[in-house]
Amino acid sequence: MSDRQTRQRSQLSREEGRELKLLHFILNQPNIDSVRGNPQAVLDLIDEFSQTYAFMTVGPEKGPIVTDLINERKPHTMIELGCYVGYSAILYGDAVRRNGGSRYYSLELNAEFANIANKLVELAGLNGFVQILVGRSDVLLHQLFDTGEVKQIELLFIDHYKPAYTLDLKLCEQLGLIVPGVSVIAADNVIHPGNPPYLEYVRASVEKKRAEAEKGPVTSYTTEGFSERTSEAYMGNENAPKFEILGNPNLVYESVLRQPEGYHDAIEVTRCVG
Ligand SMILES: C[S@@+](CC[C@H](N)C(=O)[O-])C[C@H]1O[C@@H](n2cnc3c(N)ncnc32)[C@H](O)[C@@H]1O
């Protein structure tokens, strides 16, 4: 991170309740009628408010990396893990819809964030297309599989509890949702705050993954390689996945880091190729 980026980010307010404040800022805009039904206008207002307050959105620098993937893959359905106030759901939901898709699922643990996101999604005119599901990502992913709503992952955006990235991907693998030649996974924040275990997994050889899988199912989130703050964020005492996680070590990935020039963070883009 450059000195300027560090200084700017540390000056942002982390005041409690800033997410609700954002909603009021947007709904009280004098030109609210011109914002209604306009996803980009809603995103611009979130970006404007983010000049003063710290928000965990993917933001305008990294945002286009996944929009480009949507334009290329034209997924029917897309899933994201971690909705927060709905920035990525609006940005990517709009792109999936413009590319002829049918549904954007956004999975969010925190009901208050989900409520705010629902209001902003509605303002953007994406209600009915973007579906925000409240709960833990592993439980909701299993539910989407059980109900048959999702039969394969076309495009998955991972942006939630950092230690859950690898285990949620492995859960999708063992459910047969990761399909060679189809599935693409984009994972945010892999440099800042960073996610060494995830990068190691998606870049590992099949042989290495098979040897690791011999040790048996994973039953807890590993906090090794994460700061204390990252390990404790969101999940509190719930430090175990709800299912035995086996994954599928036989899947072959091609994985690249996509980092905007001069930016402190990046998205890892992983394609299942075999
Ligand atoms: C970085 S924010 C998401 C930002 C959003 N994708 C965007 O770019 O606008 C992470 C979100 O993940 C949620 N979260 C954390 N752990 C989760 C879990 N296990 N399942 C679902 N959501 C989770 C948090 O409550 C938080 O709102």
pLDDT (average), residues 123-142 = 98
Q: Give 136 Cα–ligand 1 centroid separation in angstroms.
A: 10
pLDDT the model gives residue 33: 97
The tens digit of pLDDT for each residue in 146-202 reads: 999 999 999 999 999 999 999 999 999 999 999 999 999 999 999 999 999 999 999
pLDDT the model gives residue 90: 99
CB-based contacts of 75: which residues, under 8 Å, 6+ apart?
96, 99, 101, 154, 155
pLDDT the model gives residue 237: 67
Range of the domain at 168: 57-272
255 occurs within a structural domain: yes
Three-class DSSP labels, 182-228: CCEEEECCHHHHHCHHHHHHHHCCHHHHHHHHCCCCECCCCCCCCCH
pLDDT the model gives residue 172: 98
Q: If you take atom 26 of ligand 1, which residue's CA is the nearest one? A: 84
Q: What is the ipTM of this complex?
A: 0.99
pLDDT the model gives residue 263: 95
Q: Pick the residue with more confidence: 83 or 220?
A: 83
pLDDT the model gives residue 71: 98
14 occurs within a structural domain: no
147 occurs within a structural domain: yes
What is the total count of domains within the chain?
Answer: 1
- Count CA atoms closer than 13 A to 34's CA, side-chain side: 6
Mutate to test the pocket of ligand 1, among 23, 57, 108, 223 (most ligand atoms within 8 A of CB): 108
CB-based contacts of 194: which residues, under 8 Å, 6+ apart?
162, 225, 226
Dist. CA 252–CA 204, nearest whole Å? 9
39 occurs within a structural domain: no
Q: Give 83 Cα–ligand 1 centroid separation in angstroms.
A: 5
17 occurs within a structural domain: no
The tens digit of pLDDT for each residue in 2-54 reads: 544 555 777 999 999 999 999 999 999 999 999 999 999 999 999 999 999 99
pLDDT the model gives residue 5: 54
**CATH no. for residue 249?**
3.40.50.150
pLDDT the model gives residue 230: 87
Which residues approach ligand 1 with their CB closer than 6 A? 56-58, 80-84, 87-88, 107-110, 113, 136-137, 159-161, 164, 234-235
Q: If you take atom 1 of ligand 1, which residue's CA is the nearest one? A: 56
143 occurs within a structural domain: yes
The tens digit of pLDDT for each residue in 219-265 reads: 888 888 888 888 888 877 677 889 999 999 999 999 999 999 999 99
Q: Give 62 Cα–ligand 1 centroid separation in angstroms.
A: 16
250 occurs within a structural domain: yes
48 occurs within a structural domain: no
Q: If you take atom 27 of ligand 1, which residue's CA is the nearest one? A: 84
pLDDT the model gives residue 223: 82
Mean pLDDT of the chain: 94
The tens digit of pLDDT for each residue in 198-231 reads: 999 999 999 999 999 999 998 888 888 888 888 8
Mutate to test the pocket of ligand 1, among 57, 87, 105, 110 (most ligand atoms within 8 A of CB): 110
